[in-house]
Structure 1
């Protein structure tokens, strides 16, 4: 770390302390926590841009997938919605996957010519109508269940911290699919492709109410830390706050934000340590060689495409983790905010 880097960190620390002294410590800690989340996200972006030179500007799409994971893992399931159409939605998704896999087999097994084109068209059109025939009624039934409060399937009701690695897996899976098709592009073309795909992901979250309540948002996401009202109801906590000369209400909000800061700092420090180890390893040296001169690296026997896909998936996974952390901190998923 250079003197300039140390100076910048000291400057940020001074600004945060100044915010706490001149405005409020709640505001300072709020900024700190978002700074820690943004630092995690920046690590993911740096793996793609800095390690491999991949110009990805669709970061918000992977972040949104991390946020969706929190909803699907931590929110309680809506039993009435599952009874109304949950099984049919799962059946429709299975049909859609089967149509895609069938199309791949047709493309591989039928020889080139008009027959393959005709078979693909017939298969895809028939599969599309079958999928919609199952999916649309199920979605309508789910979204009609108390739409002001639910109108979606909910999640699994598991501890919210489990959603953080799941968010990383969601983003990594999407990145693998995207990377298989888009990493052949370079520079501006890759940037346009990733931006477009990110907008598609966000559009799905905004419009598929059965999945994420769309623009109606998902509120009340469980926390990994205590609620302020519970702390204020604790005689022991109130006594300690008064002993420090603090109002119990203010002390509870500061305490909760400090707990979040501790969680986020642990994740950030672990990722920094792992990324530095990776950067200084033979893998990191190989990635820098590929970034600087792909042709020379390929001539030395390095699989450039495979390594690009690898680092693209890793960086996206970290962005998904940051998205899960952010939604947990906000306690709500607002698809319209992913800009």
Structure 2
């Protein structure tokens, strides 16, 4: 009888551990995901505010005056006329300014830590957000407004002003490009296309197959060689850290968080998806041959917007 009771007790303990390992997600992983999601959402809000500011400061000739370069006090003009600034992650603040980036006049939005720095979860979340941005647009440094990535805790997001300008009166609607097809957008004028698109990526954590997409605007230099004028890329990894459940109870809920009969690890499963919008744009010489190249791997897709524009200078 005693043996039977021991067997039943062992089975019950095993069942509890299995259920716990399936349902429990470490608190730090939850915080990291929540912070990353909020930063993405808030950055989009800030970006929309900058766009409204740029449109409101466009002159009659189409040029945009950002009020001096460089500067680091643009947030004073953005709030609240153009954006309600969302709260920054705990231990930090939003900053905005202007500068030269990759040779262009640009506006930057930055998340900077206070003197105590980011906590571990927030730091990792910001690194996660940076992985979703173009390498040239998301810069880490020891202060805001840096144009070269040095790996610091100040995260600067750059927006090139020229892409929002409309200096030329001659602007027309053009069709979406056919990937790989060579075309000439203008024989006798400088031409700047603005191709807009939506990209979607998805991965199954059990398949271990990443998804990626790269879109390039290439120009022919006349000797048969193609050079990249603009590039947009996105990658989604099919990986996630293992989740660990300590024996003896959940951490912070009694039972010691260890010291029991061991721990259980679980590999997360399921599907993760991501959607992003992008734009290809670069000035082209008169008569220059160009093409758009789209490369995907895994479950990745691109859909062109309904309307694209061409600016002639």
By the TM > 0.5 criterion, same fold? no
Higher normalized contact order (CA 8 Å, seq sep 6+, divided by chain length): 1
**Which of the five TM-score ranges fits, normalised by the shorter chain?**
under 0.3
> Per residue, is there more strand in 1 or in 2?
2
| TM-score w.r.t. length of structure 1 | 0.22
| TM-score w.r.t. length of structure 2 | 0.23
> Per residue, is there more helix in 1 or in 2?
1
